[in-house]
């Protein structure tokens, strides 16, 4: 299993040398590497192009499925809230990481820590305003339509 973490760190180092951020990830199932990724924000201009997300996208595309039950993620850095949430949605079993969020903060990459703190607050106290807008009278409810379909 150390080989997968070594590969994740190697990917992170290569990414820094290529102008990216220090994050690499390897997705594994049954002790075999399925996909890997690095942060590609600098190439794709896509804030969601984190290493873990990129690895999951590649695996899901190959399998034509969004389910990743039975998979393990090896990440060079502790997953940010977005990546962690995506891994929960995909159903991953285990996440191993090398550098902790505190290491990222120390290196000047500290958004994840402040976002984790922000998510602990009630919606009314968060920095980003969230406004609930109920359906208009007579407007079809997509949630109800989904329930009827399933």
**Active-site residue list:** 52
Residue 58: strand, helix, or coil:
helix
- Phi then psi for 109, rounded to 5 degrees? -120, 55
CA dist 124 to 9, 13, 82, 150, Å?
39, 40, 21, 34
CA dist 147 to 25, 89, 133, 141, 143, Å?
36, 19, 21, 10, 6
Residue 123 CA to its chain's centroid (Å)? 22
Residue among 43, 41, 75 nearest 56 (CA): 75
């Amino acid at each position: 299993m150390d080989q997968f973490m070594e590969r994740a760190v190697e990917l992170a180092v290569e990414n820094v040398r290529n102008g990216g951020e220090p994050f690499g990830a390897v997705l594994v199932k049954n002790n075999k590497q399925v996909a890997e990724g690095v942060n590609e924000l600098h190439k794709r201009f896509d804030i969601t192009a984190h290493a873990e997300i990129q690895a999951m996208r590649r695996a899901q595309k190959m399998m034509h499925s969004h389910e990743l039950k039975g998979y393990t993620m090896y990440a060079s850095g502790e997953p940010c809230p977005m990546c962690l949430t995506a891994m929960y949605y995909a159903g991953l079993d285990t996440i191993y990481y090398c550098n902790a969020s505190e290491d990222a903060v120390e290196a000047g990459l500290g958004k994840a820590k402040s976002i984790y703190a922000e998510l602990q607050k009630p919606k009314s106290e968060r920095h980003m305003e969230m406004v609930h807008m109920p359906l208009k009278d007579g407007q079809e409810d997509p949630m109800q339509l989904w329930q009827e379909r399933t």
